[in-house]
Structure 1
Amino acid sequence: MSAPELDLGLAALLGALQGVAEFLPISSSGHLALAQRVAGLDAGAGGHSFNIVVHAGTLLAVLFHYRGDLLALARAVLRPGHVPQHMPDAPGSEGHVPSGSSPSDARALLLALVLGTLPLAAALAPPVENLVIAAEHHPRAIGACFLVTAAMLGLAEWLTRRRRSPQEVPRPLQALLIGLAQLVAILPGISRSGSTIAAAMGLGLGRLPAARFSFLLAIPAILGAALKEALDLMKEGLPAVDPLAFVVGFFVSFVVGVATLRVLLVLLVRVGVVPFVPYLVVLGLAVLALG
């Protein structure tokens, strides 16, 4: 029996799943890998490439939502003496706390983003990439990673509630540690947003500054992965998949991602990350049991 094709309906469904799971700290890669396994979509027949495409859709959602922060950071580079008094978040992010109040704060955030991106260089090594692709085919490994994400979120929330004066920008060493958390999250089942938000909260940042740093840190990570995949496709040729399916997946992941990101920021202000812990525990145990 031949493997199912990536039709437009499945592309839209997987794009919506990516848009939700990329921003909620529940692991988009883990959910996509499981959903594709259930649907019978083979990674080598377009599934892996499709994952990169829908991740690019959620990257555009980050760029859209944090456009105010990105503009302020660009001004910090191009016009150091003219950084706005505050770096406002995009409209709709309720409960926002300004992330920078001076040129030095903006430069500190830029330095933190650069340092936090450095650990991702290890992800370019072929053994690491092969490990990730292999993990996508082993549901029990994904289930165990869901449990790891749950543990990180629970610990981070516990530490945050005991802290009275959270930071807004990570210090250099903290940024490197958050970057290491992002590197670990290349494994499906370990949430990129969950691991970096948890690491940032655990190291002293408030909930919203942790989310902001996490998603700004995602920009070079997702962009780098998308460019690498594009170069690989140019060398190996496009998979036998309807290109329109990739377009649908990209568009749906962007629209759903914008909405989900706004919802997440509201949840962070009101209840924190605790609601995601029992979901990940139940899901992880179920995947381990069912294999």
Structure 2
Amino acid sequence: MDGLIAITLALLQGITEFLPISSSAHLILPAYLFGWPDQGLAFDVALHMGTLSAVVWYFREDLLRLTSAWLSSWVPGQCLPSDDRPAARMAWSLLVASVPAGLLGFFAGDLIALYLRRPEVIAMTTLGFAVLLGWADLRCRQIRELEDVGFREALLIGLAQAMALVPGTSRSGITLTAGLMLGLTREAAARYSFLLSIPVIAAAGMLQVVNLSLSESTVEWGMLGLGAGAAFISAYLCIRCFLKLIEKMGLWPFVLYRLALGGVLMYLFVI
């Protein structure tokens, strides 16, 4: 793999990981159009570490507050200060929301990758979930804030996130859609989606590290560092810009983009 391919794939991964436009739909196109080889497991690990580092760094203050409140909630007989209770509840809700995707990935991840990681599936899910996102953004009442997310809402968003194991769905897109359908504002739904990505990306990265340790493939450390760095920068800037602009521009630009992308994929792989 040369440097241009590595940077291009890293930028695509970093940007599409957090925008509601489906990373799998974008990563399939370069391989098809340009005949690029599979980047390999080690490079996948590097990209995951880059995007994970970006979201952790962006939300570092929130994570410290959530972790501190969550640890305090374990102390027997201790009554949490009123300021810490929402943070502790948020931390627990993120853990609850992570369970469905973890279970589905553990028991059915290989089957999904074997039977559903197909261009025609990605094309249809890119189109179908674009329509659902557009409907949610246009029709749902956006009046609830991040602090209003309880265990019921967390479980429903978590179940939606599990659907993102089907390629083309978009993890951020489906969790944003679920958040909007539960009445969250765009910014609240986006922040919850980004925070919820941390345990999911971390778990996927650890699984890849285990698989990499069992493989005998050679590692190009320079290329891995280049990919991780590009993924970190693009993911961080993506999160920062998206949260600043989402309330102003809404989600319809991404809906229209997904419809166009889905149309291209349908033309290339289905029709």
Aligned twin of 2:127? 147
Aligned twin of 1:123? 105
For the 8 Å contact 1:7–1:242, the answer to whether it is kept is no
- Residues 1-291 of structure 1 aligned to structure 2 (within 5 Å): 6-43=1-38, 46-79=39-72, 102-120=83-101, 121-125=103-107, 127-132=108-113, 134-136=115-117, 138-160=118-140, 162-163=141-142, 165-169=143-147, 170-238=149-217, 240=218, 242-291=220-269
The answer for unaligned runs of 5 or more in structure 2 is none
Aligned-partner Cα distance in 1 for 2:167–2:41: 12
Q: CA deviation at 1:82?
A: 11
TM-score (structure 2 length as normaliser): 0.89
For the 8 Å contact 1:157–1:198, the answer to whether it is kept is yes
Determine what percentage of the aligned residue pairs are the same residue: 35
Aligned-partner Cα distance in 2 for 1:133–1:255: 32
After superposition, give the CA deviation of every residue in 1:182-204 in whole Å (9 maximum; x if it has no partner): 11112221111111111111112
Q: CA deviation at 1:289?
A: 1.3
After superposition, give the CA deviation of every residue in 1:68-93 in whole Å (9 maximum; x if it has no partner): 11011122034468989xxxxxxxxx
Structure with more helix by fraction: 2
Aligned-partner Cα distance in 2 for 1:263–1:63: 16
Aligned-partner Cα distance in 2 for 1:276–1:188: 17
3-state SS, counterpart of residue 183 of structure 1: helix
For the 8 Å contact 1:142–1:188, the answer to whether it is kept is yes
The answer for unaligned runs of 5 or more in structure 1 is 1-5, 85-100
Are residues 185 and 108 of structure 1, via their aligned partners in 2, closer, same or farther at CA, if it must alter by over 3 Å?
same
Amino acid at match of 1:223: A
Are residues 147 and 47 of structure 1, via their aligned partners in 2, closer, same or farther at CA, if it must alter by over 3 Å?
farther
For the 8 Å contact 1:30–1:189, the answer to whether it is kept is yes
Amino acid at match of 2:137: E
Aligned-partner Cα distance in 2 for 1:237–1:107: 43
Amino acid at match of 1:211: A
Aligned twin of 1:97? none
Aligned-partner Cα distance in 2 for 1:72–1:289: 48
Aligned-partner Cα distance in 2 for 1:212–1:223: 17
Are residues 280 and 249 of structure 1, via their aligned partners in 2, closer, same or farther at CA, if it must alter by over 3 Å?
same
TM-score (structure 1 length as normaliser): 0.83
Aligned-partner Cα distance in 1 for 2:172–2:3: 27
